[in-house]
Amino acid sequence: MSDPYSLLILPGDGIGPEVMAEVVKVIGWFGTHRGMSFDISQGLVGGASYDTHGTPLTDDTMALAQSVDAVLLGAVGGPKYDNLDFSVKPERGLLRLRKEMDLYANLRPAQCFDALADFSSLKREVVAGLDILIVRELTSGIYFGEPRGIHADGNNPGNEGGRVGINTQRYTSGEIRRVARSAFELARKRGNKVCSMEKANVMESGILWREEVQWVHDNEYPDVELSHMYADNGAMQLVRRPRQFDVIVTDNLFGDILSDAAAMLTGSLGMLPSASLGAPMANGRPKALYEPVHGSAPDIAGKALANPIACILSFAMALRYSFDQGDAAADLERAVETVLAQGARTADLMGPEGGTPISTAAMGDRILAA
């Protein structure tokens, strides 16, 4: 048997522990039936950590996260913690993980399961079979660039109100190259095609973005098909003919908008996984954190109503992108597809036709059976 894959599981708050319990069953299945070996640690994050340790993430848990092949996180936050001081809010635990692990590539797949194609905001024919991956640069760009601020607008009598708001889009070539590498690596494990989006027609940072992505392609990934698109056209193409894409790589701002738009191509929040990747570690695997897109959903916590699929698909991403187990990931995704086709639905997936929803645990069991 090969070396075990080391995993840190942080269930967190609200429905986090409920959906994570189903992932733990799935991990056990791959151990028993596929001979995979996992070295699993469990830890606290968010409100759960605050309740026990008075901080949303301890230094020990942070150190553990830095040392494992992949971190799997449920969700953090909840109304119980709304009045806490900003420095110990549950969300700070997640932000600290992302920052200290330097997770600069945020991955948001948009995958359409046939049984749910009618949940899409687009027509079934446009989204059936859709499987794309948006890679958003997460640690730089206009959300972080200096100078920034709201100032008095000096001697400008023509400016009614007299103020100016400033943000700076700033990218270094190194920041662009590293996220481009992530995108090309991911493409090699998928459809081998990358489309890079910017606005090189009107932005200097866009020109640099295009040149550097092309440089990484020509020097390191000439086998991957690369195209460039202006981000506004990209937005249009995403809702017009989304299946033309495999991997899309784009900056922080455009990625924020495009990944939310892409999410709505596939429907429910309970179905959407994500990953955040950083630099390769000594063993060649990237630093990685996998989590469902949804939050802690306090309104349904403790009621066995949560859909575990987003978290289960996040683990499928870990299989594919951290552990190089693409076949196992595809099997897991196919099991999800199968149970949906059989009509298994948690409450969030009930369409207008109605029916009887199944519980969180029942959905996990159905997926294992499939």
Write out the binding residues for NAD(+).
78-91, 295-307
Q: Which of 17-25, 98-106, 273-281, 287-295 is the region at the interface with Mg ion (rule: CB under 5 A)?
A: 287-295
Based on the shown chain and the rule CB under 6 A, indicate whether residue 348 belongs to the binding site for ligand ATP. yes
Task: Report the Cα 297 to chain-centroid distance in Å.
Answer: 17
**Residue 149 parent element (H or E):** strand 145-152
199 catalytic per annotation: yes
Annotated binding site for Mg(2+): 232, 256, 260
- Are residues 360 and 22 in contact, defined by beta-carbon separation less than 8 angstroms? yes
- Examine residue 21 and tell whether it contacts ligand ATP (CB under 6 A): no
Do the Cβ atoms of 180 and 249 come closer than 8 Å? Answer: yes
The yes or no reply on residue 242 touching ligand ATP (CB under 6 A) is no
Per partner kind, with CB cut-offs from 5 to 8 A, the member of Mg ion, ligand ATP, none near residue 46 is: none
* Residue number with CB closer to ligand ATP (68 or 262): 262
Nearer Cβ to ligand ATP (39/299): 299
Half-sphere exposure of 317 (CA within 13 A, CB side): 33
Q: To the nearest whole angstrom, how small is the minimum distance from the Cβ of residue 359 to ligand ATP? A: 11
Strands (E), 170-222: 193-198
Is 59 tagged catalytic?
Answer: no
Per CB under 6 A, the list member of 77, 93, 206, 255 interacting with ligand ATP is 77
Indicate whether 297 belongs to the interface with ligand ATP (CB under 6 A). yes
CB 229 within 8 A of CB 284: no
Binding string, residues 293-312; x marks residues near Mg ion by CB under 5 A = --x-----------------
Q: Tell me which of 199, 246, 251, 321 is the catalytic residue.
A: 199
CA distance 241 to 119: 17
Nearest distance, CB of residue 78 and ligand ATP, angstroms: 9
Using CB under 6 A as the binding rule, whether residue 176 contacts ligand ATP is answered as no
In 241-358, which residue ranges form alpha helices assigned H by DSSP? 252-263, 309-321, 326-341
Phi and psi (nearest 5°) for 65? -60, -35
Size of site (CB under 5 A) for Mg ion: 1
Q: How far is the CB of 298 from ligand ATP (least distance, A)?
A: 7
Residue 251 binds ligand ATP (CB under 6 A): no
d(CA 184, CA 182): 6
Q: Which stretch binds ligand ATP (CB under 6 A): 115-123, 182-190, 290-298, 314-322?
A: 290-298
* Choices 194-202, 225-233, 294-302, 315-323 (CB under 6 A): range interacting with ligand ATP: 294-302
Q: What is the chain's length?
A: 370
52-80: buried (b, 16+ CB within 10 Å) or exposed (e) per residue?
eeebbbbeebbebbeebbbbbbbbbbbee
CA dihedral 66, 72, 78, 83 (to 10 degrees): 0
Q: Which of 127, 306, 316, 363 binds ligand ATP (CB under 6 A)?
A: 306
310 lines the binding site for ligand ATP (CB under 6 A): yes
Q: Would you say the C-alpha torsion 305, 310, 311, 316 has a positive or negative sign?
A: positive
| Nearer Cβ to Mg ion (270/295) | 295
Q: Which is nearer to ligand ATP, 143 or 215 (CB)?
A: 143
* Side chain identity, residue 45: V
Catalytic residue (one of 25, 102, 131, 143)? 143
256 is catalytic: yes
Choose the one of Mg ion, ligand ATP, none that binds residue 296, judging by a C-beta under 5 to 8 angstroms depending on kind: ligand ATP
Could you tell me the smallest distance in angstroms from the CB atom of residue 19 to ligand ATP?
A: 6
CA 273 to chain centre: 6
Note if the bond before 4 is cis, omega within 30 degrees.
Answer: no
| Whole-number Å distance between alpha carbons of 285 and 295 | 27
Residue with tokens 């099997």: 331
Residues annotated within the binding site for substrate are 98, 108, 136, 232
Q: Is 60 a catalytic residue?
A: no
Q: Which residues of the shown chain bind Mg ion in the complex (CB under 5 A)?
A: 295
Active site (catalytic) residues:
143, 199, 232, 256, 260
